Amino acid sequence: MEKNIVIGVDLGGTRIKLGAVNEKGNIIKDLNIASEAELGPEAVIKNIIKGAKELINCGLFPKESVRGVGIGAPGSVDIDGSTVKYPPNFPNWGVVHLGEEVSKGLDKILVAVDNDANAAAAGESKFGAGKEYSNFLLLTLGTGVGGGIIIDNKVFRGVTGAGAELGHVSIDYKGVPCKCGNIGCIEAYVGQKYFSQRTIEQLKDYPNSKIIELVNGDLSKIEPYIIYKAAQLGDEFAIKALAEYGFYLGIAIASFINIFDFELVIVGGGISAAGDFIFEPMRKTAKERVLSVHKNKFKIVPAQLGNQAGILGAAALVP
Amino acid sequence: MEKNIVIGVDLGGTRIKLGAVNEKGNIIKDLNIASEAELGPEAVIKNIIKGAKELINCGLFPKESVRGVGIGAPGSVDIDGSTVKYPPNFPNWGVVHLGEEVSKGLDKILVAVDNDANAAAAGESKFGAGKEYSNFLLLTLGTGVGGGIIIDNKVFRGVTGAGAELGHVSIDYKGVPCKCGNIGCIEAYVGQKYFSQRTIEQLKDYPNSKIIELVNGDLSKIEPYIIYKAAQLGDEFAIKALAEYGFYLGIAIASFINIFDFELVIVGGGISAAGDFIFEPMRKTAKERVLSVHKNKFKIVPAQLGNQAGILGAAALVP
């Protein structure tokens, strides 16, 4: 019989994924339910509590063996590990003491909340590519670029909980405007829309690229996945576009290694599936640019948790 | 009678400054002796031990009240807090177990060694502008740009001791080449020689600048101090040059705050004496560029320890 169980909750704008996770990082049972974010925070909280109860009472382990609930939430989470502020795609949310409310609904069980990038870092630390390391950085590639910093096996959150925004480090102070208001943030080079837009512009010079074929000439349909697919088909422009993507990340990673002196950087999320198309140029650029003392001392590796990252990361937040 | 004394040792290429420091950060007695770096590490170690002994036996406090020796060293210091590797301006040095050797010569007293930027951060944390903060960043401006990171009142050193190289964060991946091999490091914009060189180039468009007068037409004599002096005299170009200097730092600081979510950045070293000529544009740029959550939450202040920073910083390294 399993013991020492944690409920991991991956809170999204449309779906909530929940899992009962054991010490080894196996998901014993999971659930996928509607968030009903449009109904406001009370509905979301009710849904989380309902889902967690269902898992706690699933009968695959004693109820008493559940030692806590971890929630990975979008948006900004306070240093208190409970309060979620203005998450994107959650209308009428504002400032909600999510951890506290969920705990109330579950007999005051221990609840730990953090943003999804920090949760991903916690997950890779406990169950994934960072298991053997006490210190590492994580980048998650998606619409934006999330960051996680693990110092001495703990998530580093800064003073207010808003730290580790590694996507908002400028690599060119007079470069591409970022929607955060800054200029040249790495997110403005490798965030999904920025990358797709840049590719569309560059395609003018590559009228024979397979990318155009893959979207049947409708350039508005271009997204990172299509570019990757074209690269797999041997399309030279697509390979070049992904290499440029890796190059930009490598620049930022070199700066991060000079700051942190860490030996591991984990890169996960959507387009990281493109593998060596982006990892090789990323490694090359980072190695060329770091201080000489670091040149042969760091690794850049893909995240390991894949589809389970959301639930396992959330579960790993529980201390 | 004083008790709880620490000997702070500021090791430079030509001089060693030593001080007996009490808990309040007062230097009870100090010494300034030749490093004799040209004679190799044994001579330097002998000089440090000799100087420390002189202070320990000065009679102003019981010998037994000295609880350790802190050494701020140039170059790179290992995570062991003892080993100093290839310090610039120390010929024939290589890899030296400085802390261990000094401890041997002083009845196995506790010795803590770190690089000068980390020592400066420790000093500001214990005795200076960072006294009221548990977390802050320090930038020291000089030939290069040194960095110090204080997390939970401790110096953050990375995994090998080579961390906190805040001067080697690129603000423009296709910008000014840095002598470290990277491109666009903040040091390549505000390091002493780079700044002087940029000023000399820009002066072509400002033939009436007071800077030219101050160096009697010999542009090779331009250094940050001269530019500051011209700014004090109301020279418009000099004021603009210092504002540009502050602007570059502000860009890097915005990225640092997005990473660390700290509420304090301390800026010290040479040209920081130019005060508001650089601090105002630095604050303005950082505030414009940080994520909105940080906009009104951080301060950028000058270092407080001034001439005593070397000795007090070294002393603060002793735990």
Task: Choose among B149, B261, B289: nearest Cβ to A162.
Answer: B261
Q: Mutation test of the interface with chain B: which of A114, A174, A258, choosing the one with the most B Cβ atoms within 10 A?
A: A258
Whether the pLDDT of residue A32 is over 80: the answer is yes
Closest approach of chain B CAs to the CA of A252, in angstroms?
8
| Location of structure tokens 């070294």 | B314
User: CA-to-CA distance for A312 and A302, rounded, in angstroms?
Assistant: 16
User: CA-to-CA distance for A85 and A82, rounded, in angstroms?
Assistant: 10
User: CA-to-CA distance for B44 and B13, rounded, in angstroms?
Assistant: 10
**Phi and psi, residue A21, nearest 5°:** -115, 135
User: CA-to-CA distance for A195 and A175, rounded, in angstroms?
Assistant: 14
Q: Mutation test of the interface with chain A: which of B95, B165, B259, choosing the one with the most A Cβ atoms within 10 A?
A: B259
User: CA-to-CA distance for B227 and B245, rounded, in angstroms?
Assistant: 11
Residue range B28-66, pLDDT digits in tens = 999 999 999 999 999 999 999 999 999 999 999 999 999
**Phi and psi, residue A236, nearest 5°:** -65, -40
Q: Do A158 and B135 touch (CB under 8 A)?
A: yes
Mark which residues 247-286 of A lie under 8 Å from B by CB: 248, 251, 254-255, 258-263
Helix, strand, coil percentages for chain A (3-state, nearest 5)? 45, 25, 35
Question: For residue A254, which residues of chain B lie inside 8 Å, CB to CB?
Answer: 170, 182
CB count, 10 Å around CB of B49?
17
Query: What integer pLDDT is reported at residue B75 of this predicted model?
Result: 85
Q: Do B259 and A166 touch (CB under 8 A)?
A: yes
Q: Do A259 and B180 touch (CB under 8 A)?
A: no
Q: Do A259 and B259 touch (CB under 8 A)?
A: yes
The two structure tokens encoding residue B255:
């990225």
User: CA-to-CA distance for B137 and B158, rounded, in angstroms?
Assistant: 14
How many residues are given for chain B?
319
- pLDDT more than 70, % of chain B: 100
Q: Mutation test of the interface with chain A: which of B185, B244, B255, choosing the one with the most A Cβ atoms within 10 A?
A: B255
A74 touches chain B (CB under 8 A): no
Query: What integer pLDDT is reported at residue A2 of this predicted model?
Result: 73
User: CA-to-CA distance for A169 and A134, rounded, in angstroms?
Assistant: 23
Rg (C-alpha) for chain A, rounded Å, is 20
Residue range B150-207, pLDDT digits in tens = 999 999 999 999 999 999 999 999 999 999 999 999 999 999 999 999 999 999 999 9
Whether the pLDDT of residue B1 is over 70: the answer is no
How many CB contacts within 8 angstroms connect chain A with chain B? 128
- Residue A264 belongs to what H/E stretch? strand A264-268
A183 touches chain B (CB under 8 A): yes
**Phi and psi, residue A113, nearest 5°:** -115, 140
| Location of structure tokens 């049972």 | A29
Pair B254, A170: CB distance under 8 Å: yes
Segment A8-29 mean pLDDT: 96
Does the global pTM surpass 0.80?
yes
pLDDT band at A1 (very low <50, low <70, confident <90, very high): low
Residue range A142-201, pLDDT digits in tens = 999 999 999 999 999 999 999 999 999 999 999 999 999 999 999 999 999 999 999 999
Query: What integer pLDDT is reported at residue A134 of this predicted model?
Result: 98
Query: What integer pLDDT is reported at residue B302 of this predicted model?
Result: 98
User: CA-to-CA distance for B87 and B71, rounded, in angstroms?
Assistant: 13
In 3D, which of A148, A183, A182 has the Cα closest to residue A260? A148
Closest approach of chain B CAs to the CA of A187, in angstroms?
12
The two structure tokens encoding residue A69:
């609930």
Residue range A49-94, pLDDT digits in tens = 999 999 999 999 999 999 999 999 998 899 999 999 989 889 889 9
CA distances from B141 to B194, B274, B299 (A): 12, 11, 18
Over the range B267-291, which residues count as b (16 or more CB within 10 Å of their CB) and which as e? bbbebbebeebbbebbbebbbebbb
User: CA-to-CA distance for A148 and A155, rounded, in angstroms?
Assistant: 7
Query: What integer pLDDT is reported at residue B19 of this predicted model?
Result: 98
A202 touches chain B (CB under 8 A): no
User: CA-to-CA distance for B186 and B280, rounded, in angstroms?
Assistant: 18
Q: Mutation test of the interface with chain B: which of A170, A176, A287, choosing the one with the most B Cβ atoms within 10 A?
A: A170
DSSP A75: S
Lowest mean pLDDT among A85-99, B197-211, B249-263: A85-99
Whether the pLDDT of residue B2 is over 80: the answer is no
Query: What integer pLDDT is reported at residue B91 of this predicted model?
Result: 86
- Residue A185 belongs to what H/E stretch? none
Q: Degrees (nearest 5) of the Cα angle B213, B219, B223?
A: 90
Whether the pLDDT of residue B250 is over 80: the answer is yes
The two structure tokens encoding residue A123:
């997950």
Task: Choose among B158, B173, B292: nearest Cβ to A260.
Answer: B158
The two structure tokens encoding residue A280:
């090789």
User: CA-to-CA distance for B216 and A271, rounded, in angstroms?
Assistant: 59
Segment A113-118 mean pLDDT: 96
How many residues are given for chain A?
319
Task: Choose among B169, B173, B261: nearest Cβ to A172.
Answer: B173
Evaluated on CA atoms A23, A25, A31, A33, the torsion sign reads: positive
User: CA-to-CA distance for A260 and A262, rounded, in angstroms?
Assistant: 5
Residue range A220-240, pLDDT digits in tens = 999 999 999 999 999 999 999
| Location of structure tokens 């996945």 | A225
Q: Do A261 and B160 touch (CB under 8 A)?
A: yes
* Residue partners of B148: CB distance under 8 A and separation at least 6: B117, B118, B120, B121, B122, B124, B137, B138, B139, B140, B155, B164, B166
pLDDT band at B147 (very low <50, low <70, confident <90, very high): very high
Q: Do A259 and B165 touch (CB under 8 A)?
A: yes
The two structure tokens encoding residue B169:
């964060």
**Phi and psi, residue A19, nearest 5°:** -150, 145
User: Strand, helix or coil at A32?
Assistant: strand
User: CA-to-CA distance for B266 and B78, rounded, in angstroms?
Assistant: 24
Whether the pLDDT of residue B73 is over 80: the answer is yes
Residue range A264-316, pLDDT digits in tens = 999 999 899 999 999 999 999 999 999 999 999 999 999 999 999 999 999 99
The two structure tokens encoding residue B298:
């951080």
**Phi and psi, residue A164, nearest 5°:** 70, 25
Amino acid (one-letter) located at A68:
G
